[in-house]
Amino acid sequence: MTDAVGSIDMPDAQDAADKKPRKGGKRAKKGPLKRLALFYRQIVAELRKVVWPTRNQLTSYTTAVIVFVVLMIGLITLIDYGLSHAAKYVFG
């Protein structure tokens, strides 16, 4: 008994003959210096796509981060101070 043409169990002989091994292409073996140069060119191309903030935006973002960090430092300091006094009160 034979399988139907194109079944999962037995692939067509014609399909197997049509597939050719790849020779090179974009991912062909290259020397390490060529791969490094390609990597560098891709980095530069990606950095050109970045939308960089203006000086005013950068200043406002930096100020917001510094203010937030200072507030968090103050909050953590107060919590630490309060817990240390509570521990001294409870444990003597």
Would you list the DSSP string of 31-50? -HHHHHHHHHHHHHHHHHH-
Q: What is the mean pLDDT of the chain?
A: 84
pLDDT (tens digit per residue) in 24-56: 556 667 788 999 999 999 999 999 999 999 999
| Region label for 29, one of left (φ > 0), alpha (ψ between -120 and 50) or beta (otherwise) | beta
Closest C-alpha among 3, 22, 26, 1 to residue 13: 3
- Asked whether residue 16 carries a pLDDT value surpassing 90, the answer given is no
pLDDT, residue 67, reads 98
- Asked whether residue 81 carries a pLDDT value surpassing 60, the answer given is yes
**Which stretches within the chain are classed as H helix?**
13-18, 32-49, 55-91
Q: Rounded distance, CA 51 to CA 25, Å? A: 32
pLDDT, residue 29, reads 74
Tokens 């240390």 — which residue?
84
